[in-house]
Amino acid sequence: MKSYRKELWFNIPTRRAFVNITHEVDRCVKESGIKEGLVLVNAMHITASVFINDDEPGLHRDFDEWLEKLAPHEPVSQYRHNVGEDNADAHLKRQIMGREVVVAITGGNLDLGPWEQIFYGEFDGRRPKRVLVKIIGE
């Protein structure tokens, strides 16, 4: 069995954003040389997510507005976590959107369903953060 590990770095200039990382993950699959296996992609920070959905800007605004209704950033004083920091909402948003995805690799390609794309979800940006890509297979 072969294995491959890589960290993807992000420094998002805004507090929140969704970034399509499908191409970067696919590049890792090609670099690994693994034809049949699994790729795990996970956010290494507790205020960011990795998830799979449609690359459609309206949907991304819907996600953002829905998350703001569930866990509004302001007022920051509403959260017990916000003692000396202001990112409680980002922890909650990360929990809803998920930590990781696992995608099958078939014939050396990401075996995604129709319209499926892999996203990095940032909820407390403006600093360097990482995503782990781990691939195992043959």
Please report how close the Cβ of residue 87 comes to Zn ion at its closest, in angstroms: 4
Q: Considering only residues 28, 51, 87, 133, which one is a binding residue for Zn ion as defined by CB under 5 A?
A: 87
What angle in degrees, to the nearest 10, is found between the helix axes of 88-97 and 57-70? Answer: 130
Please report how close the Cβ of residue 73 comes to Zn ion at its closest, in angstroms: 12
Q: Is 48 in the site for Zn ion (CB under 5 A)?
A: no
Please report how close the Cβ of residue 81 comes to Zn ion at its closest, in angstroms: 6
Q: Is 32 in the site for Zn ion (CB under 5 A)?
A: no
Tokens of 1: 């069995």
DSSP symbol at 78:
G
Q: Is 49 in the site for Zn ion (CB under 5 A)?
A: no
> Element (H or E) spanning 41, and its range?
strand 37-43
C-beta nearest to Zn ion: residue = 87
Beta-carbon contacts of 131 under 8 Å, excluding residues fewer than 6 positions away, are 7, 8, 10, 21, 41, 42, 43, 44, 48, 50, 120
Q: Is 89 in the site for Zn ion (CB under 5 A)?
A: no
* Contact residues: Zn ion, CB under 5 A: 85, 87
